[in-house]
Chain A
């Protein structure tokens, strides 16, 4: 990092601190901008304006403090150890996602050769935590919610992977850093100034990725696992206090991470056309990536606040009869163009 020759253990500590601080920061930023401000504007009501002075920026931090103070209730019938562990499992899968997302030419915790494969694999770890939460709660609503989450995962992991395959074919690599470089080095009709963001060729793949990510995040219209009008709060029904905050943070943290991955895959990630290497690229990289993340997260939350939710069987039909065929066609088309051109 920054070409500093640090011992292994120091680098590890720095990386851990960075990852540990990015997730709460990302979750708070998304929660503040989209949950408190954008949603309030869309629904023509006031978001919190008082705490902290400027537009109520302190509200979410205050909420966090409130959650920490609350009593940690574990139901009498619950499986105590599993119940306590479940939010951590969900949060860990979010933490692991950040490991491979590059924010600059050298700003990446670990640039794995199988980066995107790894990211998709760990993103589905969270559902184990959800199943644990639902089963251990000893609550029928929680059980139904967690089973729905499991069914949803099976249906939506496939389109997510298939959508990414198109990008991987085009970029010739699975490393996220490599995908960014492939986009930076590309050219559109001979114009190479802004590179070749894969959104131009993979727009179908991007649509499928976004829909599947929406389901992965259990956001409306795919929020059946938490469907508050049917299942009270789904798998989170019995959670309170800090454990509930973990779920909340994991939800927004994963939204941030998946937006970052989508930005990397389809919008060129940290790449900006002025500096490709050097210290300035490392400084501008996170800013550029942050802007792209906010744009994609805006799409995700815009959809969330607009649509009603699907029914469970309709969701499965949508995944198997629409998303998967369309992404298979997308892969075929991409492969054909790759060979022909």
Chain B
């Protein structure tokens, strides 16, 4: 297997770095502090790297500079208020944060949203996936030194944000999902606009495939860099495109029982056998394209009917425990909600994807060069709010 070979080579390189440091030459190690203020960590992640020349001997990740205590804050809020709060976890795909929490609450209350609401939920879920990952596709270019792709990303992502704003009123934080349904129905003319925007996003994906992914320099910078074998990735709790790029065919949209409309659509889970940075980029690009096709299908098959099930005006959730998880743009996101029958939950555990995804960073960074630190961090794709909650 190619993966095993690449992994062995990177292991040998890291061992060689150790040996050279201890035996061959008494070179002095240097500690390079990447972050918490650094342009490459797009937020406040800190990486303490011990360098031998430009080679990393050892790297530690320090997170928590942006910890906002959401798990504690939700204990003193009612369910509708929590919905506003958890929008801010992964701020690029806010709507996708709301869905698993609402699903958990619905499980406890034993209500189910009507089909139209479920389809519109799925629709916005995929739109926020597009809004999130289009930015990654461009951002990767910036991290590798090509500044143009990110402006294309902002240009075309704007159309998706406009759509979300038109229907929900919020560009970044829609706060649109409700227990038992959604807040509003779709506005007039929105469906044809969305189809145009999806065509645009597909054009953007083609453009980036030519401009960035097709470039030899991009391949040279990403192929074989940051290889994660499937078993290592699974043992570190990786999820989402990061683990699918290692050849693990696992997508919660297909593999977990969910009331949302994914099972009624015709779509494909993309995987890549290599597990390197290039594979992660490739998988995300394909997923964005797949998501636009899913949005088209959702728009065509949108059922009619009510958008809200019957729920009491004041929401009280009966005592009990529930776990709901979905395949968010960054990976598996889940909420474990413990209720004691009040207006708000007693305790909520938030499982966010990025926190688990960056846990592999110290293992990955051993023996790589300084520019590869940036490539690996960029290709793992984390949102700081999603790490620190």
Contact = CB atoms under 8 A, between A and B. Distances in A.
Contacts of A140: 30, 32-33
A41 B56 CA distance: 39
A306 B208 CA distance: 11
Question: In the complex, which range does the number of interface residues on chain A fall in?
Answer: 20 to 34
Contacts of A307: 145-146, 215, 217
Given A42-B148, A308-B217, A230 B371 contact: yes
Interface in B45-89: 54
Contacts of A306: 146, 148, 211
A229 B143 contact: yes
Interface in B78-123: none
A43 interface: yes
Interface string B288-324: 0000000000000000000000000000000000000
Contacts of A10: none
Given A42-B148, A229-B40, A230-B40, A310 B143 contact: no
Contact of B152 (A43, A220, A310): A43
A193 to B, nearest CB: 40
A314 B145 contact: no
B30 A227 contact: no
B144 to A, nearest CB: 4
Nearest to B41: A229
A224 B371 contact: yes
A221 B217 contact: yes
**Most chain B CB within a 10 A radius of its CB, from A144, A227, A230, A307:** A230
Contact of B145 (A42, A45, A229, A313): A229
A232 interface: yes
Given A221-B217, A307-B215, A43 B147 contact: yes
Interface string A302-316: 000111111111100
Contacts of B217: 221, 307-310
Contacts of A309: 144-146, 217, 221, 371
Contacts of B373: 230
B161 interface: no
A70 to B, nearest CB: 20
Contacts, number: 80
Contacts of B215: 307-308
B38 interface: yes
B218 A308 contact: yes
A308 B144 contact: yes
**Most chain A CB within a 10 A radius of its CB, from B143, B370, B373:** B370
A313 B371 CA distance: 10
B197 to A, nearest CB: 16
A221 B216 CA distance: 11
B212 A311 contact: no
Contacts of B371: 224, 227, 230, 309, 311-312
Nearest to B37: A232
A228 interface: yes
Given A229-B40, A230-B40, A44 B155 contact: yes
A44 B159 CA distance: 14
Interface string B206-223: 000001100101101100
Interface string B139-172: 0011111111001100100000000000000000
A232 B30 contact: no
Interface string B358-370: 0000000000011
A145 B333 CA distance: 39
Question: In the complex, which range does the number of interface residues on chain B fall in?
Answer: 20 to 34
A216 interface: no
Nearest to B218: A308
A157 interface: no
Interface in A229-243: 229-232
Interface in A73-132: none
Contact of A220 (B33, B146, B211): B146
Contacts of B369: 311-313
A45 B146 contact: no
A57 to B, nearest CB: 23
Contact of A144 (B39, B40, B54, B374): B54
A165 to B, nearest CB: 28
B372 interface: yes
Contact of A310 (B39, B147, B221, B372): B221
**Most chain A CB within a 10 A radius of its CB, from B38, B54, B215, B371:** B371
B152 A232 contact: no
**Most chain A CB within a 10 A radius of its CB, from B141, B217, B373:** B217
Given A140-B32, A229-B40, A308 B212 contact: yes
A251 interface: no
A223 interface: yes
Interface in B2-34: 30, 32-33
A194 B283 CA distance: 53
Contacts of A313: 369
B40 A308 contact: no
Given A232-B38, A308-B212, 11 more contacts: A44-B152, A45-B151, A144-B54, A220-B145, A305-B147, A307-B145, A308-B145, A308-B215, A311-B372, A312-B371, A314-B220
5 tightest A-B CB contacts, nearest first: A309-B145, A43-B151, A308-B144, A308-B146, A229-B40
25 contacts: A43-B152, A44-B151, A44-B152, A140-B30, A140-B32, A144-B370, A220-B147, A221-B145, A223-B145, A224-B371, A227-B145, A227-B371, A228-B39, A229-B145, A306-B146, A307-B145, A308-B144, A308-B146, A308-B212, A309-B146, A309-B221, A311-B369, A311-B372, A312-B369, A314-B220
Interface of A: 42-45, 140-141, 144, 220-221, 223-224, 227-232, 305-314
Interface of B: 30, 32-33, 38-40, 54, 141-148, 151-152, 155, 211-212, 215, 217-218, 220-221, 369-374
